[in-house]
Amino acid sequence: MNCRQSLDYKLNGLEDEIIWVNERKTIVEDRLREKIAENSKKKRTAINWEWLKVSISLVSVGLLCFVLIGNISTKKNDFQEIYQAGSLYYKWYNLELKPILPPVNEKWGQFESFPIMIKSYKNFDLVESQKRASYKIMRPTIDTNIPLELSRGVVVYPTSLPAKKFKGPITYWDIWHSGDKWVYAKQSLAENSKQLLNEKEKKITVEIHSNAKVIPFKDKNTIAILMDLGEYGKRINMYVKNKKDQVINFEIRGNINEEELIKLARSYNEE
């Protein structure tokens, strides 16, 4: 028997020479079962933890949405409540409106001066006016279907100062007109702007006619009151808080129908 044959002979027998003690197989099998059970338990826990995290996230998102929606509706409701309550008082920042005056019974005249104003506003420069204004002039954002021609102009005061040098309060006018139909929109910075917005200031109370209507706006930065002036048209008075925390006093009046007037008023405030 040579060396190679001897080696092969020995190797053939090696499998039988190594004896893995019998009970060890069962012991390792038990250990395997235990380990597998432990691993799958860990996996389940991990999966459950994943689900828990997902659930917590969903609940958080839900709560956030709930809070946001609640907040939005509260903001909306601030105004809606005022509008729908039919109560005697309407609140807007530091302003309180009391509809305690008797229904309007004033004789409003025609807006007869509009042809003169149109004439004087012919060469009006909006850009230059905006430069001199201490607030951002509100512009209508809709392409209105109202078949009126638009003229615009500005009145600065005090009138004693040269217009170009004056920087400060300004009254800006838009005049929409066609035949005997007319609308004007007038805006200026409310002089009591700060007092209107700051609730720590003395409350401003305004008495309005009991037949005045509050026009609902989604934006709580606006409050608008509509007055029916009979045969001489309708008027909307608005207070609008802008991004610079200024209050714009906006008045729009015209002898067009109520819906059109409201639509036009809204369009100034939808930027």
Partner 1 sequence: MGAIKDQQFFKWYEDYSLSIFKYIYAIVQEPQTAEDLMQETFLKLYEKYGSINDIHNVKNYLFRSAHNTTMDFFRKESKIKKLLNVIKKEVDSYSSTEKIVEIKEEGRMILKALKQLKPSQREVFVLRKIKGFSIKETAEILDWSEAKVKTTLHRATNNLEKFLLMEDETIELPSIVRL
Of 6, 57, 205, 210, the one binding partner 1 by CB under 8 A: 6
Task: State which residue, 34 or 207, has the beta carbon closest to partner 1.
Answer: 34
| CB-based burial label for 30 (10 Å; 0-12, 13-18, 19+) | exposed
Task: State which residue, 17 or 180, has the beta carbon closest to partner 1.
Answer: 17
Tokens in use for 150?
Answer: 């638009």
Residue 179 binding partner 1, by CB under 8 A: no
Contact 263, 138 (CB under 8 A): no
Residue 13 binding partner 1, by CB under 8 A: yes
In whole angstroms, the minimum distance from the beta carbon of 48 to partner 1 comes to: 17
Task: State which residue, 8 or 128, has the beta carbon closest to partner 1.
Answer: 8
DSSP string, 23-70: HHHHHHHHHHHHHHHHHHHHHHHHHHHHHHHHHHHHHHHHHHHHHHHH
Contact 89, 196 (CB under 8 A): no
Whole-angstrom distance, CA of residue 198 vs CA of residue 92: 11
Whole-angstrom distance, CA of residue 138 vs CA of residue 256: 21
In whole angstroms, the minimum distance from the beta carbon of 26 to partner 1 comes to: 10
Task: State which residue, 28 or 65, has the beta carbon closest to partner 1.
Answer: 28
Whole-angstrom distance, CA of residue 237 vs CA of residue 215: 10
x-marked contacts with partner 1 along 18-57 as a string, rule CB under 8 A: xxxx--xx--xx-xx--xx--x------------------
Cα angle value 185/114/168 (rounded, 5°): 50
Q: Which stretch binds partner 1 (CB under 8 A): 7-15, 162-170, 192-200, 208-216?
A: 7-15
In whole angstroms, the minimum distance from the beta carbon of 54 to partner 1 comes to: 24
Query: Which residues contact partner 1 (rule: CB under 8 A)?
Result: 1-4, 6-8, 10-11, 13-21, 24-25, 28-29, 31-32, 35-36, 39
